[in-house]
Amino acid sequence: MENPHYKSTLEEKGFSVLDRMYSNAEIDALISCIEKAAADKKLDESSTNLFAIRQVITKIPELKPLLFTEEFHALLKILFNETYFLTKAIYFDKPSESNWFVAYHQDLSVSVDRKVDVSNYKNWTFKKGQYGVQPPLNILENIVTIRIHLDKTEKRNGALKVIPTSHLKGIYRPETIDWNTEAEHVCEVEKGGVMLMKPLILHASERTTNHKQRRVLHLEFSTKQLQKPLNWLEFDATF
C-alpha cells in the first residue's frame, strides 16, 4: 500500500487518508453503475436528484466486483487481524442543489434487523424503513469506516472536518468541545482516494461553495457480532 503508516495513524488520530486507491477508469465504472441503476428506476430513492442510497450494495449488487478490487482487499487485510465483514454501505452525493451543513457529531448508531430489548443497546430509531440503535462502546470502537471518494473533495465542496484523537474519549458530546484544547483538521481527498475513520471521531462538514459534487461511497466494517438475537442489518462477508 502507498502509506505504511495509515493503520497506526487511524488508531492514533481516528482518521487517515490514502490519496490513490482507485484509477480514474475504476471510479468512472462505479459512477456509471450507480447512475444506470438510478436511470433504470431500480431504487426507491430514484428521482431527478439522487442524494443518498442506503443499503447501496444490497440494492446495486453490481457494485461489488467494482468496489472490492485486489488493492481494496489488501487494505482490509492490513486493517483487520480477525475475520471482518461489511455492516453498512451508503452512497452520498452532495451537489449544490442539496447543499446541507452537518454539525459536529459522532456516528453512534448501527443498523440492525429488528427491535428487541437487549441490555446496553439504547436510543432506538426507525428511519427509512430500518432500525438503528446505539450499541455498547466496544462495538463502536471496533468499527472502521472506509469512504471511497468518487470526486476530488476539498474544503469548498464539503470535505469532512474532524477533531483528531476525539475517538479516544468515548461518548464525546459536541456541546462540550473545548476549542482551547481541541484542533480542527479538514480531510481533503483526491478522486479515487480513500478516507479511513473511526465512527467515534467527532466530524462535521460545511456546505458546498464551489458548485462541485462530492460523491462518496461510505462503507463500515467490523469483526464483532451483536448481542443475539440482534444481527447487523447489512451483514455481508461474501466479498
Mean pLDDT of 92-108: 81
- Looking at residue 36, its pLDDT comes to 93
- For residues 47 and 53, is the Cβ–Cβ distance under 8 A? no
pLDDT at 187 exceeding the cut of 70:
yes
pLDDT at 1 exceeding the cut of 70:
no
pLDDT at 98 exceeding the cut of 70:
no
Q: What is the pTM of this model?
A: 0.93
Joined together, the cell numbers standing for residue 54 give 442506503
Share of the chain above pLDDT 90, in %: 79
Q: Which residues contact 82 (CB under 8 A, 6 or more apart)?
A: 223
Report the C-alpha gap between 63 and 28 in whole angstroms: 12
Dump pLDDT digits (tens) for 188-197. Answer: 999 999 999 9
Report the C-alpha gap between 32 and 207 in whole angstroms: 25
- Domains of the chain with CATH codes: 6-222 (2.60.120.620)
Dump pLDDT digits (tens) for 104-155. Answer: 999 999 999 999 999 999 999 999 899 999 999 999 999 999 999 999 999 9
Report the C-alpha gap between 141 and 123 in whole angstroms: 18
